[in-house]
């Protein structure tokens, strides 16, 4: 069974996000082994300097790398990433499975995004939308789209 790891900078605090994550985690259990790893977001002052942001992203990148498996496919969620339809994401999931990938890691940064080194390491940079969303909502959107992708690949009516 495919192993999908979601590495998230920041903790879910709102019950409605946690409830949505629990629901889609349950649904995804039929298709993959999902693990969610939450990492602490670096604290920044109200008006951080570019150097302070860079230092925070650098530290978060080190924390992310420490949680990545030795092998596998890395997908970084970032605004400059590729915009994929649900069908295209399903195709990527299928292609990764066919190519023998057994581990997928999706990384969602904190409020300042991801360090460029994580983006460079990724096999795919994925954008949910040109719009800006809270990173907690992006987490829920991602697991729903993963579920939708697996449903598309299985021929289910969920996508209709």
Q: Could you tell me the residue ranges of all domains in the chain?
A: 2-154
Query: pLDDT class for 132, splitting at 50, 70, 90?
Result: confident
Query: pLDDT class for 15, splitting at 50, 70, 90?
Result: very high
Beta strands in 10-62 (DSSP E): 32-39
| Three-point CA angle 97, 98, 104, nearest 5° | 25
pLDDT tens digit sequence for 52-106: 999 999 999 999 999 999 889 999 999 999 999 999 999 999 999 888 888 999 9
As beta bridge partners, residue 105 has 5, 74
Topology classification of domain 2-154: Alpha/beta knot (3.40.1280)
């Amino acid at each position: 069974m495919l192993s999908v790891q979601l590495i998230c900078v920041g903790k879910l605090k709102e019950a409605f996000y946690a409830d949505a994550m629990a629901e889609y985690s349950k649904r995804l259990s039929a298709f993959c082994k999902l693990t969610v790893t939450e990492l602490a977001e670096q604290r920044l002052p109200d008006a951080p300097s570019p150097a302070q942001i860079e230092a925070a992203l650098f530290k978060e990148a080190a924390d992310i790398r420490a949680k990545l498996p030795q092998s596998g496919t890395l997908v970084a969620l970032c605004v400059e990433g590729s915009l994929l339809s649900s069908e295209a994401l399903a195709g990527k999931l299928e292609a990764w499975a066919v190519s023998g990938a057994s581990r997928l890691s999706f990384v969602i940064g904190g409020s300042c995004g991801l360090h460029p080194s994580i983006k460079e390491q990724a096999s795919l940079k994925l954008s949910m939308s040109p719009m800006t969303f809270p990173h907690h909502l992006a987490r829920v959107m991602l697991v729903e789209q993963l579920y939708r992708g697996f449903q598309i690949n299985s021929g289910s009516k969920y996508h209709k």
